Chains A and B, each alone.
Chain A
Amino acid sequence: MKAAEKFTDAGLVAAIGDPALLNKAILFLYQQYSASTCSFIMSYGASEQDAEDVFQETVLSFIEIVKKGKYRGDASIKTFLVSIARNIWLNEVKKKERAGFREMQYEKGRDPHEADISDHISDLEKKRQLRELLYKLGEPCRKLLMLYYYDSLSMREILEHLPYENEQVVRNKKYKCLQQLTEYIKENPAVAYQINESIK
């Protein structure tokens, strides 16, 4: 396999925070930790596909935890990833209402630092629902919002990617698209309820 950039744990955390290095960091996570984490999850009854999906969510969660500054480094990245993966799989098992004794096995084996990430993991189902809402918006809106809010392009730069007449048209379209997404979110009962509760 083509040699990937090597990172220490600290270097990897730094790379995740640098947009220019994020792809290399993700590739390193896959090359370094995918096989062992997937084997671990499969030893608890996950299929190969389940394990692959769990690892993808694990990588996403880890990146978000690091970006929020919640990875304190008191466990190695390998251990931390396994903990995240185990939490995700535990949630999946719960969701699918699989045999109760398996959950007990997991609960017994939980590490102390797992409490730090459990809140994050519990949001995964909500995130999946929210992702669907963005796709529901349609391609032009999705693309515009992604260019602005994920790729951080300016209105002028967006004009080079999308067929709009001028920056003001892009700006107006962005308002409408974001408002539409917000409406979809409001119409999603589970998400809307959670927000209503959180601001009470």
Chain B
Amino acid sequence: MPLLSTQLIDHLDNSLQGKGSAETDELIQADPETALEWQHLRLAVDTIQDVGLFEQVESVKAVWKAQQADDAKPAGASIRTLYRNVMRVAACLLVIAGGAGVFKYSTTSSTGLYNKYYLSYTLNANRGAAAPNAIDAAYDQKNWTAVLSLFAVSPEKNNKSYFLAGMADLELKKYDDAVGKFEQVLAANLQSGDNYFQDEAEFYLAMTCLARNDVNEAIPLIGKIKANKNHLFHETVGKMSSLDLRIAQYRNSK
């Protein structure tokens, strides 16, 4: 009898912890269909581990690059030659370039990126429900506390209300609360297979992560939006410099 998918996953998890059972291995090998499923699961886990390593290497590479930028200093030797004046000019240019690098490093921060790229969200009549409700009205009036109060007592919460409440949290700088609500939208879509307010939640979750200096969480989201040309915020995110993000990440890790 073929093993259930969940049984295979349990066996895989146990095997990764060195607790695999030889009996289950035999059952897997005895049934070609189960063996195929097992191979797919193994490949899925290999993929996750590969992506983990890929992101870790990228992160360290960013640190290395930031260190290089940090150390971009003009040569100190004083050379007295016929070309002294030329060298002085070159040295000045190097100082300016080095200074620009240092300035870039010292002025680039997670919250700075948030302030630079944050867009206030305006409700689109076409995007919302057919009949505007009290939360929409409070949101349109930028009455953030009212949005949150109405959301709290709302009997029927959906992705839109979670998103608007998350935006209200964000406007009130209640970042942890905002993250929870945006993640709820993403989790609900994941479960239902819908995309209702998916793009909005992804972008503003990334923004919230930047606002609370959590660049490590923001970078994968931003990368995902950059990779998707159909994403509502693709153009906005496309303006973000990867170097700026990596500098902010490095500064946060210090």
Does A82 touch B at the CB level, under 8 Å? no
Give a binary string over B116-153; 1 marks a CB under 8 Å from any A CB, 0 the rest. Answer: 00000000000000000000000000000000000000
* Closest Cβ neighbor of A149 among chain B residues: B48
CB < 8 Å: which of B44, B54, B56, B61 contacts A182? B44
**A134, B46: Cα distance in complex, Å:** 11
| Stretch with Cβ within 8 A of B (4 or more), from A70-78, A91-99, A101-109, A191-199 | A191-199
Give a binary string over A131-170; 1 marks a CB under 8 Å from any B CB, 0 the rest. Answer: 1011100111111011001110000000000110000000
Task: Check if B47 sits within 8 Å of A26, measured CB to CB.
Answer: no
- Chief secondary structure at chain A's binding surface: helix
A16-31 with Cβ < 8 A to chain B: 22-23, 26-27, 30-31
Give a binary string over A33-75; 1 marks a CB under 8 Å from any B CB, 0 the rest. Answer: 0100000000000000000000010011001100000000000
Task: Check if B41 sits within 8 Å of A178, measured CB to CB.
Answer: yes
Least CB distance from A143 to B in Å reads 8
Task: Check if B44 sits within 8 Å of A139, measured CB to CB.
Answer: no
Task: Check if B60 sits within 8 Å of A30, measured CB to CB.
Answer: yes
Most buried by B among A59, A135, A149: A149
**A56, B50: Cα distance in complex, Å:** 13
| B side interface size, CB within 8 A | 48
| A side interface size, CB within 8 A | 46
Task: Check if B61 sits within 8 Å of A30, measured CB to CB.
Answer: yes
Query: Do A131 and B60 form a contact, CB below 8 Å, given A138-B186, A175-B6?
Result: no
Q: For B67, list chain A residues within 8 Å (CB).
A: 1-2
Query: Do A130 and B47 form a contact, CB below 8 Å, given A139-B202, A178-B9, A186-B40?
Result: yes
**A59, B54: Cα distance in complex, Å:** 9
**A196, B56: Cα distance in complex, Å:** 31
* Closest Cβ neighbor of B223 among chain A residues: A135
Task: Check if A175 sits within 8 Å of B9, measured CB to CB.
Answer: yes
Does B45 touch A at the CB level, under 8 Å? yes
Q: For B205, list chain A residues within 8 Å (CB).
A: 139
Name B residues whose Cβ lies closer than 8 Å to a Cβ of A: 5-6, 9, 16, 32, 35-37, 39-41, 43-54, 56-58, 60-61, 63-64, 67-68, 70-71, 180, 183-184, 186-187, 189-190, 202, 205, 220-221, 223-224, 227
Can you name 14 A-B pairs with beta carbons within 8 Å?
Answer: A1-B71, A26-B60, A30-B61, A56-B57, A56-B58, A56-B61, A130-B50, A135-B224, A139-B205, A141-B190, A150-B51, A178-B41, A179-B9, A181-B47
Q: List the 4 closest pairs (A to B, CB-CB), nearest first.
A: A150-B52, A26-B60, A130-B47, A30-B64
